[in-house]
Amino acid sequence: MNWQRSILKDNAKISLHNCYWVSFAVSLVATLLSGGIFSIYSSFQHLVKKLHDFQDGLFLRNEWSGADFSWHHSFGFFPTISSILALLTLLVAIFIGAAMMVGASRYYLHKRFGDTHFSTLFSGFQQSWGNTVGVLFTTNLFIFLWSLLFIVPGIVKRYQYYYVDFLLADNPSLTGKRAREISWMLSDGEKGRLFLFDLSFFWWYILVGLTSLITLGLSVSFLMPYVESARAELYIYVRDRAIQMNQLNPAELCLQPANSQPQ
């Protein structure tokens, strides 16, 4: 019962029919509230620096100095602010980004079955927010620590924990240990295929990179509905496969009452 990348992508496109712009809004807001607003500032800062360098190259400093104004003086405080924003970005990513990630994953899971309520994005704050923050923080910490050994172990860990956000979207009360165990089981023997699945979006990400300066880094929000819809299709497939093979109890993921017996 192997999944096929082309079928998952086709299903993702179908699921976006008539709801792409709602999905785009979900991805955009999730990006902004997860620290993307600081990325916009950084892009703006970079653009200003380029303009400042360009100004110096054309020897236009005297014109600004005559008005007692210069790009250098106006934006000389940026390094200090950048340091503060770097810390804020980290804190936002930990405490707000986690809820945004799980809320967005829950939206894409529900969208697959016709529920396209934008408010689903914020459900991560309403359901076991503290657990969500703890689980994703420890999971990302494990991936980071493994990456310190060598690049490959970090990549392996990333794909072992590939489904943690979707598992929390199904059941936000899952412990970190259990969420990682289930994700490990779902990805067992398929980490290489998961890598190729992500790699199949490579040229889309290249396009995003080429347009990021123009869009202040927000062009990725146009791509995310497609990518996350495909990931949701994949998760639903491997989740249901594990349930059918009696490897996973659907009640554990809140897919049926706890006192019900799996079919």
Query: What pTM value is reported for the model?
Result: 0.81
Residue-by-residue pLDDT tens, the chain, 263 positions: 789 999 999 999 999 999 999 999 999 999 888 865 555 555 555 555 555 555 555 444 444 444 444 444 444 445 566 677 677 778 888 899 999 999 999 999 999 999 999 999 999 999 899 999 999 999 999 999 999 988 888 999 999 999 999 999 999 999 999 999 999 999 999 999 999 999 999 999 898 888 776 766 677 889 999 999 999 999 999 999 999 999 999 999 999 744 444 33
Q: What DSSP string runs through 33-82?
A: IIIIHHHHHHHHHHHHHHHHHHHHHTT-HHHHHHTT--HHHHTTTHHHHH
**Contact assessment for residue 236 and residue 184, using Cβ atoms and an 8 Å cutoff:** no
What's the pLDDT score for residue 174?
97
CA 151 to chain centre: 20
Closest by CA to 146, choosing from 156, 138, 136, is 156
What's the pLDDT score for residue 55?
52
What's the pLDDT score for residue 156?
94
What's the pLDDT score for residue 261?
41
Q: Is 261 helix (H, G, I), strand (E, B) or coil?
A: coil
Rounded to whole angstroms, the Cα distance separating 196 from 199 reads: 5
**Contact assessment for residue 85 and residue 41, using Cβ atoms and an 8 Å cutoff:** yes
**CA 170 → CA 11, 100, 106, distances in Å?**
20, 14, 7
**CA 126 → CA 118, 166, 172, 190, distances in Å?**
14, 16, 10, 33
What's the pLDDT score for residue 127?
87
